[in-house]
Amino acid sequence: MKTTSTSAPLSNAATHILLALAQGDLHGYGIMREVAAISGGSFKVGPGTLYDNLRTLLAQGVVSEFAEPVENGEPRRMYHLTELGARVLDDELERLRMVVKTGRERLSAARAGGA
């Protein structure tokens, strides 16, 4: 379903962070692990990239943050994909689907013409 969002294309890091959060709330290290898992290890985000992107996503309202109590310690910062974030991710996935579709069509045509 296409939304009316006019959001610009997301960076690879932001897309992967949102994909990780689409499965549920995670803390920073959990996001880094999930990004590596969903990409089969081909894409990883380090702490600097993660927290720079999270600051931006929080400011845009795409992600929210809350504290989760931890026994005998400081509360853990957790991140949640907002409804707006789900729409932004959906838009980005649709944009990427169209990029892949166009790319495959053009590559197929180039192979057919050059064969």
In a domain, 6, yes or no: no
In a domain, 70, yes or no: yes
In a domain, 96, yes or no: yes
CATH number of the domain bearing residue 95: 1.10.10.10
In a domain, 4, yes or no: no
In a domain, 88, yes or no: yes
Give strand pairing partners of 80. Answer: 64
Range of the domain at 66: 12-114
Q: How many domains does the chain have?
A: 1
In a domain, 110, yes or no: yes
In angstroms, what CA-CA distances link 49 with 5, 20, 24, 55?
Answer: 25, 15, 20, 10
Q: What do you get for the CA distance between the two ends of the chain, in Å? A: 38
% of the chain residues with pLDDT over 70: 92
Residue 66, classed as helix, strand or coil, is strand
In a domain, 53, yes or no: yes
In a domain, 104, yes or no: yes
At residue 8 the predicted structure's pLDDT band, cuts being 50, 70 and 90, is confident
Asked whether the predicted pLDDT for residue 6 surpasses 70, the reply is no
- The pLDDT value given to residue 1: 37
User: Phi, psi (5° rounding) for residue 76?
Assistant: -90, 135
Summarize the confidence of residues 56-80 as an average pLDDT. 95
- The pLDDT value given to residue 2: 42
Burial of 10 (0-12, 13-18, 19+ CB in 10 A): buried
pTM equals 0.87
Average pLDDT, the chain: 92
Computed on alpha carbons and rounded to an integer, the radius of gyration of the chain in Å comes to 17
